[in-house]
Amino acid sequence: MNRLVYQVFKTLAMSMIFVFIFDMSAYLYRAINLNQRMENYMISMQRVVMENNYLPDGEYKLYETLFTQLAENMNTSDTFINGFIINYTHGAVNTITSLTAEKYNTELGTTQNTNILRSRMDTPADYGDVMIVQAIVEINQPTWGFTNGDSRSSVDFNNDRTSSLLEPNKTRFSYTYFVPCLKYQSVTAE
């Protein structure tokens, strides 16, 4: 009888361990898949910003649709992705605030330091400026029912850092790139 009880408890313990390992493997697979897709989208977004010196409104709506579809595809059985933040109409989060360059004023014969770092993607920058391209995606961590789970089923696409949906106790993947603005615009007097 003692041997039977030992075998039952041993089987239950091993089963619980394998369930946790399987669940963590599935979570890591989803996180790696999300990371790869986000990196692909961000490469494309960097190229658009580089060619236009900003992110045009039509392109922003395209990326908003792509990110929303990504969340809907990954939130099939549970809420994996909570939401996204993109620095389109507000400054980038947790980045350096200035990058200065010396510009020579030929009329006065002096140099001045100017900020060439642009932290918002909705405003066109000058040729040679550096634009911050940033996207943050927040995902839920596996809880296995040990904590109060959130039963939200909708995806929040938000540009405001004060959203009540994006909570600090979740895992955030942050994609921040410094992209040079390469579109040269000549100004001619008419």
Residue 103, SS3? strand
How far apart (Å, rounded) are the C-alpha atoms in residues 181 and 88?
Answer: 16
Pairing relationship of beta strands 110-115 and 156-157 according to DSSP bridges: unpaired
**How many residues are present in the chain?**
190
Torsion angles phi and psi, residue 84, rounded to 5: -130, 150
pLDDT of residue 170: 80
Give 95's pLDDT tier (boundaries 50, 70, 90).
confident
Give 162's pLDDT tier (boundaries 50, 70, 90): very low
Q: Based on C-alpha coordinates, what's the Rg of the chain?
A: 24
Per DSSP (E only), the strands in the chain are 81-86, 100-105, 110-115, 117-118, 130-139, 156-157, 171-180
Question: Which of the four pLDDT bands, split at 50, 70 and 90, describes residue 87?
Answer: very high
Q: What is the pLDDT of residues 40-80, one digit of tens each?
A: 999 999 999 999 999 999 999 999 999 999 999 999 888 89
138: its two tokens = 């927040």
Pick from 66, 16, 4: nearest CA to 41: 66
Measuring CA to CA, which residue among 134, 129, 137, 121 is closest to residue 170?
Answer: 137
Phi, psi of 81 (to 5 degrees): -100, 125
Token pair 């910003």 in the structure block, residue: 49
Domain boundaries, the chain: 2-180
131, 179 Cβ separation under 8 angstroms? yes
101 or 68, higher pLDDT: 68
Contact status, residue 80 vs residue 74, Cβ threshold 8 Å: yes
pTM of the model: 0.75
